[in-house]
Amino acid sequence: MPIHALSHLTFVVRDLVRTAQLLTDGLGAQEVYDSAAHQFSLSHEKFFLLGGVWLAFMQGEPTERSYRHVAFSVPEDELPEYERRLRAAGAEIKPPRPRVEGEGQSLYFYDFDNNLFELHTGTLAQRLARYQR
C-alpha cells in the first residue's frame, strides 16, 4: 500500500507574524489559516500554501541549526528575484555551497528560527544523470 503524496510540513517558530511576512513577501506564499480565533492544535499556528504544498508554522521554541531543510523548485532565471525579495524580508541568505555543473543552482536561507530552506533549480533526474558521469 503506497503513500499517495506529501500531506504537509510543520515548522516551529517564535513569531508567527514575522514568519508570515517572510513567507508571503519573500516567497509569495498564500496564508490560508490562522488559529488565533480558536486553537485546535498544540499552539497558535498558521497555514500557508506554497507551490501547492501545505506548510504549517506553530508558535514555540525552535531547534538548533542543522542542514535539515526543505527545498522548493524554482526556475533558474527567477532565483535572483527570490534572493532580492528574501533579503528585503530579512531572511539570512547562506553563501552558496560548492556545486558540480549540471546539478542545478540553489539559494539556501534561514528563517528567523533556524529553519533552513532551499530554492533549487534542478531536478532529481538531472542530478542523478550528472552524478553518473
Catalytic residues: 45
Cβ pair 31, 24 in contact under 8 A: yes
- Cα–chain center distance at 10: 11
Radius of gyration of the chain (CA): 16
Closest CA to 45 of 36, 58, 32: 58
Q: How many angstroms separate the CA atoms of 120 and 103, rounded?
A: 9
Residue (of 42, 43, 16) closest to 31 by Cα position: 16
Cell of 57: 508554522
